[in-house]
Amino acid sequence: MINNDIANILITEQELDATVSRLAKEIDRDYAGSDKKLVLLCILKGSIVFTGDLMKKVGVPVEIDCMRVSSYGAGTSSSGNINIVLDVIRPDISECDFLIIEDIIDSGRTLSYLVGYLKHKGARSVKTCTLLDKPSRRVVDFTPDYVGLEIPDEFVVGYGLDYAEKYRALPYVGILKPEVYGGEDA
Ligand code: IMP
Ligand code: MG
């Protein structure tokens, strides 16, 4: 059973629902009345579940787009070499307010790279929304515009987040047992 690999549940389904509702309200407040296109940019694959739930709760009109990036490096830490695997291709980038939807910020490299990338492509504006933040792990100075929950330095899975492509379908966010990934205490 997959649940046997989870040390404990860090964020329950109910807490996730309340957190996503709160973020949707903040987004509605900030983008209300805009006559520009708001694009929720889902960063595949980890943000699929979060984006799906968030888009249902946001009241302002949104479009959805996706990007996929990979950062070389196996296991539980990223290397910092960010590679665009799926790009956002649209002719109207200069008319779009992008809100990047990310599952979790760790070093901060992915989001800081993506913000710069979209600005360079001519986006009208770029903001960031992350469900989870591990501020203690930051390598580059980066502050997201919207944060769901700050969490301690633990490797978590579920609600879209994976380890080696597993556990994404869990409805909660759980701490993975270190022995599963050969981490400390393993
Ligand atoms: P950053 O570029 O170091 O901020 O890394 C962000 C990416 O690392 C996220 O999109 C996740 O794919 C991955 N990541 C970081 N921490 C975790 C975790 O605890 N569980 C699963 N993925 C994680
Ligand atoms: Mg990811």
Q: 161 CB under 6 A from ligand 1?
A: yes
Task: Confirm whether 106 is a catalytic residue.
Answer: yes
Range 112-133 average pLDDT: 98
Span 26-57, pLDDT tens digits: 999 999 999 999 999 999 999 999 999 999 99
What pLDDT is recorded for position 182? 84
Q: 114 CB under 6 A from ligand 1?
A: no
What pLDDT is recorded for position 10? 98
User: Does residue 185 surpass a pLDDT of 60?
Assistant: no
Separation between Cα atoms, residue 64 and residue 38, nearest integer Å:
9
| β-bridge partners, 97 | 38, 125
**What mean pLDDT, rounded, does the chain reach?**
94
Share of the chain above pLDDT 70, in %: 93
What pLDDT is recorded for position 174? 98
11 phi and psi, to 5 degrees? -135, 120
Span 53-86, pLDDT tens digits: 999 999 999 999 999 998 766 566 666 789 999 9
Burial pattern 2-36, b for ≥16 Cβ within 10 A else e, equals eeebbeebbbeeeebeebbeebbeebeeebeeeee
Q: How far is CA 42 from CA 47, 79, 136, 149, 161, in A?
A: 6, 21, 24, 18, 13
Q: What is the pTM of this model?
A: 0.95
